Amino acid sequence: MAGWSCLVTGAGGFLGQRIIRLLVEERELQEIRALDKAFRPELQEEFSKLQSQSKLTLLEGDILDEQFMKRACQGTSAVIHAASVIDVFNAIPRETIMDVNVKGTQILLEACAQASVPIFIYTSTIEVAGPNSYREVIRDASEDQPLESTWSAPYPHSKKLAEEAVLAANGWALRNGGILSTCALRPMYIYGEGSPFLRGFVDQALRNHGTLPHNSKLSVVNPVYVGNAAWAHVLALRALRDPERAASVGGQFYYIADDTPPQSYDQLNYALGREWGFHLDARRGLPVLLQYWLGFLLEMVSLLLRPVCRYRPPFNRHTVTLLNSVFTFSYKKAQRDLGYKPLFSWEQAQQNTAAWIGALVKRHREAGRAKAR
């Protein structure tokens, strides 16, 4: 990558951090620009230690600021767009999600065209494909199957629109006469050390005497470890840099999984936390059909109360479907086109994540002992 530089948006996030850590190991990459709205002090310190042959520049700013994004892209050779507002529980206003995820992506694409950035890689999501019904069984699906989310929920809808914009931009003429090459990666549910979702489950279990939430025992999914999801972005960057491969990769989307065994979300949480004494709730939950229609009633209550106050239901039809579907995918196309092969085995991913959970458990116990003194 002689003379090359790469801008990574969402660089302070769960996935973005791992992309940065892998990019600093890329030879001949002169500069990495890590962009986020704000970086935590401890992350700034960590990134400062990553300086190697690549210059690592931290940029703090709003993705909706057009002038800021133009400056960030100026002189950049590639963009990995991992910034996103992730929300499956409708906790964030719809306007905010649509603005950041859709408008922010469009602003960044325009900035790339103006700054003649030839490569754009978009971090999409499996939710662009569904699941649309917990009754439908999707196993080992591929990119050739016409799967598309029909949910109007802001997160999957915004990601679908943003991905469409990115893939449609493939082939755009750049200001310097070049051509923009784009692709989108659709990771499965991403787990690993630092996962905000996993941390939430661990916190719940610690407050509940080690009992993990048990609300998705019927699901069958193939989660992807964060290190492998990040590695796929690096390989996509390499592929789009190669003129021969760029012709076939440009305008394509790829499902990104690894060799984590297909299992339920509950089983995954248990597999990662059992050595620390965590266990699943043995009580029987409500039937999925009843949960689904309760979710619908809660959505109606939220809608009726909207003129008076903002009520956020604990679950809705979308979350019930997500947590109870059989929805697994193959990564063979990424293997064929990008040369993708998981960097971390399931055993490594499990060990790394369990060690992180252990640190959370120890910190919790220490805080409890200090409080008791």
Query: From CA 20, how far away is CA 50, in angstroms rounded?
Result: 9
Return left, alpha or beta for 155; rule: phi > 0 is left, psi -120 to 50 is alpha, else beta. Answer: alpha
Instruction: Count Cα atoms within 13 angstroms, Cβ side, for 118.
Output: 16
How far, CA to CA in Å, does 233 sit from each of 44, 100, 157, 192, 300? 22, 21, 23, 17, 40
Q: From first to last of its 373 residues, what are the pLDDT tens digits of the chain? A: 457 899 999 999 999 999 999 999 887 789 999 999 999 999 998 888 887 667 899 999 999 999 999 999 999 999 999 999 998 877 888 999 999 999 999 999 999 999 999 999 999 999 999 999 999 999 999 999 999 999 999 999 999 999 999 999 999 999 999 999 999 999 999 999 999 999 999 999 999 999 998 778 789 999 999 999 999 999 999 999 999 999 999 999 999 999 999 999 999 999 999 999 999 988 778 899 999 999 999 989 988 988 888 888 888 999 999 999 999 999 999 999 999 999 999 999 999 999 999 999 999 888 777 777 6
Query: From CA 83, how far away is CA 91, in angstroms rounded?
Result: 18
Query: From CA 181, how far away is CA 199, in angstroms rounded?
Result: 36
pLDDT at residue 1, as a whole number: 44
189 is catalytic: no
Beta-carbon neighbour count of residue 156 at 10 Å? 23
pTM here? 0.95
pLDDT at residue 53, as a whole number: 63
Instruction: Count Cα atoms within 13 angstroms, Cβ side, for 90.
Output: 18
Residue type, 186: R
Q: Which fold has domain 4-196+223-259+329-345?
A: Rossmann fold (3.40.50)
Q: Considering the candidates 122, 134, 155, 225, report the single residue annotated as catalytic.
A: 155
| 3-class DSSP assignment, residue 369 | helix
* DSSP-assigned letters across all residues of 277-336: T-EE--S----HHHHHHHHHHHHHHHHHHTTT-----S--HHHHHHTT-EEEE--HHHHH
Q: Using alpha carbons, select from 355, 361, 191, 364 the residue that is nearest to residue 267.
A: 191
Q: Is 275 exposed, middle or buried (0-12, 13-18, 19+ CB in 10 A)?
A: middle
Q: Using alpha carbons, select from 326, 330, 329, 302 the residue that is nearest to residue 315.
A: 302
* DSSP-assigned letters across all residues of 133-168: -TT-EEEEE-TTS-------SHHHHHHHHHHHHHHH
How many residues are recorded in the chain?
A: 373
